[in-house]
Structure 1
Amino acid sequence: MDTTIKSLGPCEIISPLHHVGGGVEVNFRKDNERVLFSHTLDRDSEPHADASQFSFEASGPREHIFFNPAKTTAAIVTCGGLCPGLNDIIRGIVTQLHYRYAVTKVFGFRYGYEGLIPRYGHTPMLLKPESVSQIHNFGGTILGSSRGPQKIGEMVDLLEEMNIDLFFVVGGDGTLRGAVEISNECERRGLKKAVIGIPKTIDNDIMYLDKSFGFETAFAVAVQTVKCAYVEATGAVNGIGLIKLMGRDSGFISCYAALAGGNVDFVLIPEVPFQLEGERGLLEALRYKLAKKKNAVIVVAEGAGQDLIPSAGNTDASGNQKYGDIGLFLKDKIGAFFKERRTECNLKYFDPSYIIRSVPANAQDNVYCSQLAQHAVHAAMAGKTSMLVGRWHGAFVHLPIALATQGRRKVDPSSELWHSVLESTGQSARLSDG
């Protein structure tokens, strides 16, 4: 596991943070300060004498920086689906650059990577502290977003033409892999440009991070839907509330929404397969639950049960496989199951996905986004590149983008989180006859 962070060269400029602390000493960090990968030890293991191979570089301001603030130009791009906190990230980067480093030329590329391709006609926005001062109160992103790859060479052409020194890329794993290619192309051309990623995924599935921004807001809003589904379920004979939440490959939102909302009887996530039919399948378990308590609430992640649905066989603009709609699939199967048995069933279906992802960030995410933005700026000014900022075991760290995007973080079926869900819902650990 290579955790080495690329650098554009030696840092020989004294940081302006020496002079803007207002008499408060700045906690400068050194590159040899590390955050351990594992904060626990197995009972039979011994501490490693050299933890450098099992640790991440600590984030934070450096005493000497690579870029001269007076001659530095920065740019920001937001890509992929919307997520709470995008405007907070933009605001945090702009204000940190302006007030702490006196970098006053900051551009925002419109509509994702399309904004770096001149033929699309998206004129870059000049971002000032005054123009971003209130954007954190609104959902979405003032820069707009888009999906799909663009030609790396053309994007680097524009970065070179505009003399962009710091390039902040906010997006998911596909976007971040694009950022690595941009960084590699800059290196191939001999261009000294810092490419810094800020991972965006509402599913909380970036590896080696405690959490991604927007996640807490997402499941907090999802909880309200869970409560509404419970009210609907208890208000009818054999009432069923069925909620589909986001989570293509990871069921974190479903798990946390169920735990926080309470009154959930079944949680279905991509990491734990289940069957519909059979004595121990979901439908029989649901029938037993209705017979026992006259209502039930089901939370299902969008990527759950895909083996039960005929494959669409195509991909979206980002190259992700298109998944079948598990929510509508379950709605039809549950209705048919009870109709065949001549049992009354009143099912209410909820799909709040677009509501969840478009709301403004809550207070906790406001703080987290601000901190991510600040650490991203510190890293960029120090000449680090092809990396992202995140939080690991409560400390902010630098991670190589290639390392963080080599897989997806998922719910471990043997973890405390999933066992907490099972204890909260009372559902069987295995909804199958196998």
Structure 2
Amino acid sequence: MSKLKGNLVIGQSGGPTAVINSSLAGVIQEAMKHDEITGMFGMVHGIMGMINEDFIDLGKQDPADIDGLRHTPSAALSSCRYKVSPNEYEKILEVLKKYNIRYFFYAGGNDSQDTAKKVSSIAKENNYELRAIGIPKTVDNDLPIIDHCPGYGSVARWLAIATRDAGLDTEAIGIVDNVKVIETMGRNTGWITASTALAKEHEDDAPHLIYLPEKPFEEERFLADVDRVYKKLGYVVITVCEGLVDKNGEYITASSRAIDTDKFGHRQLGGVAIYLCDLIANGLKIKARWDKPGTIQRVSMVCASNVDLEEAYMVGKMAVKYAVDGKTDYMVNLVRESGKEYKCTTDLVELEKVALGTKKVPDEFINAEGNYVTDAFIEYAKPLIGGDLPKYSRLKKIPVKL
């Protein structure tokens, strides 16, 4: 196969994470090894940068800064949540030709992979040779087929530590603040919320109850769950997904304001923790407080998983290798190898199989009562957070005897 010479462009889309810049570093550093890639451009604010011809010259950056991206959170190129209109794809084609862009990389989740697929399609329809590769990125961990998504291991580690800390706080002050409800991100899937179970080291440790959108929420069953744990321990820590739904599949809480709905029709979620606190107070006459970390959970570098960082870098490097080898219309896929020791490699999955798709938490990862996760989930998720959580000490309750 003859080499395809031309420039490379990369964009970052969707919510910034702790590791998406590690993928960017992987792309840049691998591209430098291939003489068929004559220049490297970064789209400012994702695909909007392509439409507006707003690029950063990545080839003229200080190598130390590029290497530093591997441990820098957020999205260095700036991100977006932008749905390209049909007429704008013609403009994208013009820009591809104008800048001789032959390698197109887009890092993001479900909607971003769809954008990469459509950019490739418009190039093909016009006989313009382009290699388009999607780079997986979403803390939601909901891309189909891939074992897990870069970004997930770090948000899982962050929330596991935060939940364990909240559990110790509630245990200590439980005679005053009896119940703590922690609301996590997650929209339509409960992968993020489920990861809080990694906080538990002993049977009575937090979290005591976990509620995911994969199982319809029932008020009476929820109150019975809370009452049971409270009677046993005298306090309760609950984690819940922002996208919790009722038996009709409707969000328990979601904004109805137009300004809170993005271009893909995603409504801003939030408020389910407040709703549950009110339910507990009114139904059980027990005081409940809530915590909602917000977007900091997805982007914080302080608890980033070393496994997540390395895998994010790997998918960036492999995206370039696959493209240079002639692959196009694929997303880089993470494949978990069998065996007792965790190991992950890459292959490719067609963009059309992941674009706009959603991977739910499977039934085998949720207990029969729908209020916690199973050991199978713990086995799946634990290797992704990059080692054990910090060690804490407990005092033995040895009474004083006169």
Q: TM-score range by the shorter chain?
A: 0.7 to 0.9
The equivalent of 2:329 in structure 1 is: 386
Residue 347 (structure 2) aligned to one of 397, 403, 406: 397
Equivalence map 1:300-339=2 (5 Å): 300-305=240-245, 307=250, 309=252, 312=255, 315-323=261-269, 325-338=271-284
Which amino acid in structure 2 is aligned with residue 90 of structure 1?
L
Say if 2:175 is the partner of 1:229: no
Equivalence map 1:6-21=2 (5 Å): 11-12=1-2
TM-score by length of structure 1 reads 0.74
Percent identity, aligned pairs only, is 24
Paired with 1:170 and 1:308, the residues of 2 have a C-alpha distance of 28
Say if 2:90 is the partner of 1:140: no
Say if 2:359 is the partner of 1:409: yes
The equivalent of 1:248 in structure 2 is: 187
Paired with 2:100 and 2:306, the residues of 1 have a C-alpha distance of 36
Change (3 A) 1:259 1:358: closer
Please tell me whether the aligned partners of residues 164 and 199 of structure 2 are also in contact (alpha carbons under 8 angstroms): no
Paired with 1:231 and 1:260, the residues of 2 have a C-alpha distance of 11
Deviates more, 1:89-98 or 1:230-239: 230-239
Say if 2:135 is the partner of 1:201: no
**1:423 shift after superposition:** 5.8
Which amino acid in structure 1 is aligned with residue 352 of structure 2?
A
Number of aligned residue pairs? 347
Please tell me whether the aligned partners of residues 144 and 354 of structure 2 are also in contact (alpha carbons under 8 angstroms): yes
Change (3 A) 1:423 1:410: closer
Say if 2:317 is the partner of 1:374: yes
Paired with 1:332 and 1:112, the residues of 2 have a C-alpha distance of 40
**1:322 shift after superposition:** 4.1
Change (3 A) 1:77 1:223: same
Residue 94 (structure 2) aligned to one of 135, 144, 157: 157
Please tell me whether the aligned partners of residues 110 and 125 of structure 1 are also in contact (alpha carbons under 8 angstroms): no
Change (3 A) 1:169 1:254: same
Say if 2:227 is the partner of 1:282: no
The equivalent of 1:96 in structure 2 is: 30
Please tell me whether the aligned partners of residues 233 and 348 of structure 1 are also in contact (alpha carbons under 8 angstroms): no
**1:99 shift after superposition:** 3.1
Change (3 A) 1:274 1:114: same
**1:228 shift after superposition:** 2.3
Unaligned runs of 5+ in 2: 338-344, 376-402
Which amino acid in structure 2 is aligned with residue 397 of structure 1?
D
Please tell me whether the aligned partners of residues 77 and 108 of structure 1 are also in contact (alpha carbons under 8 angstroms): yes
The equivalent of 1:82 in structure 2 is: 16
Deviations 1:332-382 (A, max 9, x none): 2223334xx4x5x2x231112311112234311121012111210111112
Please tell me whether the aligned partners of residues 203 and 250 of structure 1 are also in contact (alpha carbons under 8 angstroms): yes
Which amino acid in structure 2 is aligned with residue 126 of structure 1?
L
Which amino acid in structure 2 is aligned with residue 373 of structure 1?
G
Larger Rg: 1
Deviations 1:14-40 (A, max 9, x none): xxxxxxxxxxxxxxxxxxxxxxxxxxx
Q: Say what the alpha-carbon RMSD is for the aligned residues.
A: 2.3
Deviations 1:57-112 (A, max 9, x none): xxxxxxxxx42xxx431111001111221110110100011135573511101111
Which amino acid in structure 2 is aligned with residue 375 of structure 1?
M
Residue 126 (structure 1) aligned to one of 58, 64, 88: 58
Say if 2:178 is the partner of 1:239: yes
Please tell me whether the aligned partners of residues 115 and 124 of structure 1 are also in contact (alpha carbons under 8 angstroms): no
Please tell me whether the aligned partners of residues 213 and 368 of structure 1 are also in contact (alpha carbons under 8 angstroms): yes
Paired with 1:318 and 1:199, the residues of 2 have a C-alpha distance of 18
Paired with 1:229 and 1:310, the residues of 2 have a C-alpha distance of 23
SS in 2 for 1:133: helix
Unaligned runs of 5+ in 1: 1-10, 13-65, 425-434
Say if 2:232 is the partner of 1:292: yes
SS in 2 for 1:207: coil
Which amino acid in structure 2 is aligned with residue 162 of structure 1?
Y
**1:184 shift after superposition:** 0.6
**1:247 shift after superposition:** 1.3
The equivalent of 1:111 in structure 2 is: 45
Please tell me whether the aligned partners of residues 300 and 327 of structure 1 are also in contact (alpha carbons under 8 angstroms): yes
Deviations 1:365-408 (A, max 9, x none): 12101211121011111222111111123341111111123531
**1:251 shift after superposition:** 1.1
SS in 2 for 1:80: coil
Deviations 1:132-165 (A, max 9, x none): 1212222101101011213222222212211111
Change (3 A) 1:318 1:423: closer
Please tell me whether the aligned partners of residues 7 and 39 of structure 2 are also in contact (alpha carbons under 8 angstroms): yes
TM-score by length of structure 2 reads 0.80
